[in-house]
């Protein structure tokens, strides 16, 4: 059965240093314990929502990498916006809907008066090979984002998921 995947289970709390990331390793950079616990909880909830996606019997689940950004306000994702599209409009819509369906999301620990931007990295793959390729691409993208000097460095990235089904 084709399953929904979100790449390597991890959380990134961007800090002032650019890490070196090994391929296929969880992406974790100096995440404070409360933030890591928060991310783990939100990731688990996002996993549940992603499992509700029902691919077309005719076309199946597309291989793709989607990045959606949002903020948390009053327990709900707000300002949900597509950051990077997968190339498949159905998959992009399903990713956004999964995030919009989250509820009872706790406030980001340590967030200042300004809203904290959260990025959900979602990979869908119907084979181990497709998963590895998309995961490698995500790793390169995250390395570049973390090495930048712009505001993207302060984004908390969530990546939820499971391994591909055989």
pLDDT (mean) for 14-21: 29
- Per residue in 56-73, pLDDT (tens digit) is 776 778 899 999 999 999
Say yes or no to pLDDT of 22 above 70. no
- Per residue in 116-163, pLDDT (tens digit) is 899 999 998 888 999 999 999 999 999 999 898 888 888 888 876 544
Residues facing residue 11 across a β-bridge: 158
Domain spans, the chain: 10-159
Task: State how far the Cα of 118 lies from the Cα of 114, in Å rounded to an integer.
Answer: 13
Rounded to two decimals, the pTM is 0.76
Angstrom distances, CA of residue 70 to CA of 3, 91, 99, 129, 147: 24, 17, 8, 30, 21
Structure tokens belonging to residue 65: 């990498």
Assess if CATH 3.30.1150 describes domain 10-159.
Answer: yes
């Amino acid at each position: 059965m084709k399953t929904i995947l979100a790449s390597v289970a991890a959380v990134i709390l961007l800090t002032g240093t650019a890490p070196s990331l090994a391929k296929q390793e969880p992406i974790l950079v100096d995440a404070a314990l409360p933030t890591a616990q928060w991310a783990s909880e939100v990731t688990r909830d996002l996993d549940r929502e992603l499992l509700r996606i029902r691919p077309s019997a005719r076309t199946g689940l597309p291989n793709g990498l989607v990045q959606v950004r949002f903020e948390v306000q009053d327990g709900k994702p707000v300002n949900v916006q597509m950051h990077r599209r997968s190339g498949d409009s159905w998959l992009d819509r399903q990713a956004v809907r999964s995030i919009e369906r989250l509820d009872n999301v706790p406030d980001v620990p340590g967030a200042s008066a300004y809203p904290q931007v959260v990025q959900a990295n979602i990979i869908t793959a119907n084979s181990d090979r497709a998963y590895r390729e998309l995961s490698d691409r995500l790793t390169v993208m995250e390395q570049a984002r973390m090495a930048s000097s712009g505001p993207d460095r302060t984004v908390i990235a969530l990546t939820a998921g499971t391994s591909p089904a055989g």
